[in-house]
Structure 1
Amino acid sequence: MRSSRLGLLAAAGAVGLLLVTTGAQAATASPFGSLDFGSSSGSAEPATDGGFISKTPYTPGQAVGDYQPAPAGYTPVYTESVARHGSRALSSLKYDDLSLQLWEIAETQGELTSVGKEFGPALRALMAANQTLGYGNLSGLGVTEHRQMGARVAQRLPRLFDAIATQQGAITLTSSGADRAVDSAENFGQGLSAEFPAVADRIAPASTDPGLLYFHDTDAEYKDYEDNDPRLTAAADQVEDLPRTREVSRHMMTKLYTAAFVDRLTAGEFTLVDRGKGETTIENEVDAAYMLYNTYIITPGMSAEGDWNFARFVDPADAQWMAYTNDAEDFYAKGPGFVGEDVTFRMATVLRDEFLRGLAAHTGADAVPGADFRFAHAETIIPFAALLKLPGSTVQQPEGTLYTYENNPWRGAQVSPMGANVQWDVFAGPDGGRLVRMLYNERETAFAQPCNPVSAGSFFYTPAELARCLPEISPAA
């Protein structure tokens, strides 16, 4: 039996297609009809990243030298951030193992296509790399992403770190406690201290705070929503026989396997269970396509471990379709979700309030310069972005109108790629005043209304304004 998560993915994708195509369009040669992955409102561009969604490797959104300067006389006195861990290996032995089990059956029975014959050896090599790294651990690229991020914060705020060094300020690193978050914190610190050695002894030993940075796992109301909400259950129930999802899945499978073998897969002849936790199965072609896709999207983040070229096994249009269905699941499970509902992001209030506490602690005239860096997960960043209504996370969906790439700007690759981050820089003025600037994925970003900057077009806000307006951005439903 397919998991409810997979049910939501496929239901979202297939129903979304029905919402944005006509019958004539759906009859075109494309397996997706004429589904538009862009935005009719111009709020988002078509996906061009290979369909890697939230597994997209990190790229800073803006060059360090391109930020709007602080007003004359203002110098940095504090910075704080939260970042997702860097690129990683697969989270567990699951997608890859099930894909290999299916391939081994087809190989034994002589049911592989010419492309399919290449898949097994490539998959075994990828699995070996995952085992060497340790499932769920940072890849070489993930290490580099956070070391470079640590270096860039020192390049952005050299006067702050000089003040921390000379005034005995504190730099803290806090993680969720998961290994990949712990390692991200350590590598960030190494990048920072390598760029600005004078603060190496000001970086405190890394600590953990799962209540602050892994809140999705402990919030009872959210867990109930995730497991029992009838709207999610209804979407999952719709997946079983939607023709469009099955067509896409068959298209993916026949690239690797003969049509006769895929017919048997579709008929339910094979039941495979992962040899990791034993909680995931392949029972049909939709399950198998999902396992293949989720194996494929980890490969860009493991570029330091090999030249995988898994694009030869997944056609671009198929990858984009699966990207959409995965984005739909994350949108409803972690992101903006349904109009009038805040259960998916209200739990991030604890993190918002921690940012405000950090800000308040550095607004007094006697405050010592410092920096607080936090390291977490997509399940942290996505709700936090929705809570703050950061760009791309501003639009909820009415019940009965399914999220699509045409009617909503939300994209996992933009909202929470690997290494995604939110940073606040605090500056002190000659009169003792303070100003705050926000960076989202290292791009200077305005706070959402009703927050008002110090002047039109400015990215700077007073702490008093943020204390006033941030609780108003996402009030309880």
Structure 2
Amino acid sequence: MPLALAFALYASPALAQDGYYQTKTPYAPQQDPATYAAPPAGFQPVFTQLVARHGARGLTGMKGDAALYAMWRQAAAQDALTPLGRELGPDILALMQANALLGYGVAGIEQPGYGNLSQTGIAEHRQLAVRLLARLPALFAQLEQDAATAPRQLVTIHSGVDRARDSARFFTQSLLEHAPALAPLLYLPPAPAPYPQGRASGVQPTLQPDGVNRFLLYAHKLAPQTDRVTDRASPYFATYEASQAYQHYIRTKRLDTLTAAPARQPAAARHARQVLERLFTPAFLAQFDGGRTSYADTGSYTFTSADGKFTRTLTGSGKTAIRSVNAAATKLYELYAIAAGMRHEVAADFSRYMPADDARYYAAVADHEDFYQKGPSTTDSAGVTWRFALALREDFFREVDALASGDGRHAAKLRFTHAEMIIPLASAMGLQQALAPLPEATPYSYANNRWRGAQVSPLAANLQWDVYRNAAGQLIVRLLYNEKETPFQASCDGARIAPGSVFYDYTGLKACYGHVAAPSR
């Protein structure tokens, strides 16, 4: 496909910042590809690699939606709804049905239901693949030409979670639809094994399918029962230890204190009332006072597809509770945000229930929580929120190291993961818009910090390295973050091939990150 035609066919709308969807913001590239800098004379593309978050998805489970629907049903029974509020219940139920059936009838989705990619999420990765082809036509044309005689590999890995696996599948399907000669080059490497280590005699290790690498792409949630590493010589020992340290951190009272700060401010009650009094009567909302009422995700719901061939019955766990107006408004914001990426599945317009000023407030609250839980956090947190992503950062260097040593087996490495890895990776790489920790005494706010989830990790967020080589063997690298040419950490400015250039000499780049060449892959 000609480059210009590819960009025309797969252009995306401008990023919907005005919606304040935080990390549920649907994806759009952040730079017009026509403005990308041309590589210096004599340099040709020889390799590319990316890590991408999964695309737009549904809710991960029937939780807050069912709790909010229970609240709405009680209000309806008490005749405590405004005219707009009467429309909320059917819209919540429609969203629940769309999530329960999500992926039904879609080739490539193995188990329909909550947590799957939406049509928007599928399109995000299909389009991302086409833009990759269009950005590096010389590289992929050469790969197609050499596929039969000197094949190189398109290495693809993912976290093992369905939405990341499916994002990888739809991305590579799109790649091969537009460049079918690349099909023999697609390679899913064996998963790291055997893990867990150090288990009792007779317990078999957990074997993951080919293409899964939890240590690189699910490192925030490594579990003793599947991933324990006891051998200090293992390349994954440090990652496992860092993961355990992080999981301890997110359970600490210290973090709870940091993330709960917005709820203690007067703005919390004010915005909750602004949102909810448009939907429920003041007397109904007053029932929350003093803990007199609460609502939970209880009850069973049965949903059937339009063709009548697929039915799902879901029962709430009762573990998600709404005990305050603040909690109710927050749950409504979560539905508003997720619906932005489900517009093909749900006709309901949740923006009717979440005025822009309130949406901005709840996005800021979510950013506050993510800043401390997933982002840079505090200056004395010692990088606990991102050190488990160092192995992923090193994997990028390891791939280019192989090229530098003459190992050209890999033509591309494609990784698919989650916001919980994209956000810490941006911090681990020291990207200016991502790494700005604050003293614990200085609470995060939009006024003092430019960290925003919608920019750091929207749906399908991605970091890509394009690698070029000249006849002398010099390698240079360009970083694209959400498809925008982006500087590496500030200390690497000396590695730029010219002042202000977006291309970095690889040897200098490796040195500025303090990277020691890893053993050959």
> Is the structural similarity TM-score above 0.5?
yes
State yes or no: 1:190 paired with 2:213. Answer: no
Matched, 1:337 2:377: yes
- Structure 1 gaps of 5+ residues are 1-46, 473-477
Matches within 5 A, 1:251-270: 251-270=274-293
Aligned-partner residue type, residue 460 of structure 1: F
> 1:221 aligns to what?
245
Identity %: 40
In structure 1, C-alpha distance between the alignment counterparts of 2:248 and 2:363, rounded to whole Å: 26
**Cα–Cα, structure 1 residues 348 and 326, in superposed 2: closer, same or farther, change >3 Å?**
same
Residue identity matched to 1:135: Y
Deviation at 1:332, TM superposition (A): 0.6
1:263-319 CA deviation, whole Å, 9 max, x = no partner? Answer: 112342222222434332111111111111111101110011133211111111111
Q: Deviations over 1:144-184 (max 9, x none)?
A: 00000011111111211122231301001111011000000
Q: In the alignment, does 2:505 pair up with 1:465? A: no
Name the residue aligned to 1:233.
Answer: 256
**2:216 corresponds to 1:212:** yes
For residues 361-400 of structure 1, the aligned pairs below 5 Å read: 361-365=402-406, 367-368=408-409, 370-400=411-441
Please tell me whether residue 412 in structure 1 is matched to residue 395 in structure 2: no
- Code of the aligned partner of 2:361: W
- Residue 352 (structure 1) aligns with: 393
Q: For structure 1, which segment, 340-349 or 434-443, has the greater mean C-alpha deviation from structure 2 after superposition? A: 340-349
- CA 412–239 in structure 1, closer or farther in 2 if over 3 Å, else same: closer
Structure 2 Cα separation of the partners of residues 237 and 126 of structure 1: 28
User: Could you say what the CA RMSD is over the residues aligned between the two structures, in angstroms?
Assistant: 1.7
Question: Residues 286-305 of structure 1: matches in 2 within 5 Å?
Answer: 286-305=326-345
Residue 237 of structure 1 and its aligned partner are, at CA, apart by 6.2
Residues 34-433 of structure 1 mapped to structure 2, 5 A cutoff: 48-133=17-102, 134-165=113-144, 166=146, 167-205=150-188, 207-218=211-222, 219-230=243-254, 232-235=255-258, 242-275=265-298, 276-341=316-381, 342-365=383-406, 367-368=408-409, 370-433=411-474
- The whole-number CA distance in structure 1 between the counterparts of 2:17 and 2:484 is 20
Task: Verify the 8 A CA contact 1:164 1:170 in the aligned structure 2.
Answer: no
The answer to whether the 8 A contact 1:162-1:198 is kept is no
Equivalenced residues, count = 425
C-alpha distance in 1 between matches for 2:250 and 2:264: 23
Letter in 2 for 1:117: R
For the residues of structure 1 that align with 2:128 and 2:258, how far apart are their CA atoms? Answer: 39
Secondary structure of the 1:392 match is coil
What is the deviation of 1:73?
1.3
Equivalent residue for 1:35? Answer: none
Q: Could you tell me whether the CA contact under 8 Å between 1:49 and 1:56 is conserved in 2?
A: no
Q: CA deviation at 1:71?
A: 1.0
Further displaced range: 358-367 or 150-159:
358-367
Shift in Å, 1:216? 0.8
**Alignment partners' CA distance in 2, 1:88 and 1:290:** 19
1: CA distance, partners of 2:505 / 2:119: 39
Mapped to 2, the partners of 1:437 and 1:192 lie a distance apart of 21
Change (3 A) 1:238 1:449: closer
Greater shift after overlay, 116-125 or 162-171? 162-171
Q: Could you tell me which amino acid in structure 1 is paired with residue 221 of structure 2? A: D
- The code of the aligned residue for 1:246 comes to A
SS at match of 1:138: coil
- Normalising by structure 1, we get a TM-score of 0.86
What amino acid does structure 1 have at the position aligned with 2:125?
H
In structure 2, the CA distance between the partners of 1:467 and 1:185, relative to structure 1 (3 Å rule), is same
* Residue 113 to residue 385, structure 1, CA distance change in 2 (3 Å): same
TM-aligned CA deviation for residue 366 of structure 1 = 5.4
Q: 1:212 Cα deviation (Å)?
A: 0.7
Distance 1:361 1:349, change over 3 A: same
- In the alignment, is the contact (CA less than 8 A) between 2:262 and 2:365 conserved in 1? no
Deviation digits for residues 207-263 of structure 1 (CA, Å, limit 9, x no counterpart):
111111011112111111111152x23335656754331221122111110011011
Q: Secondary structure of the equivalent of 2:413?
A: strand
Task: State the alpha-carbon separation in 2 of the partners of residues 261 and 286 from structure 1.
Answer: 14
Aligned mates of 1:186, 1:256 — CA distance in 2? 42
Deviation at 1:431, TM superposition (A): 1.2
Tell me, in whole angstroms, the C-alpha distance in 1 between the residues paired with 2:436 and 2:37: 27
2:499 aligned residue:
456
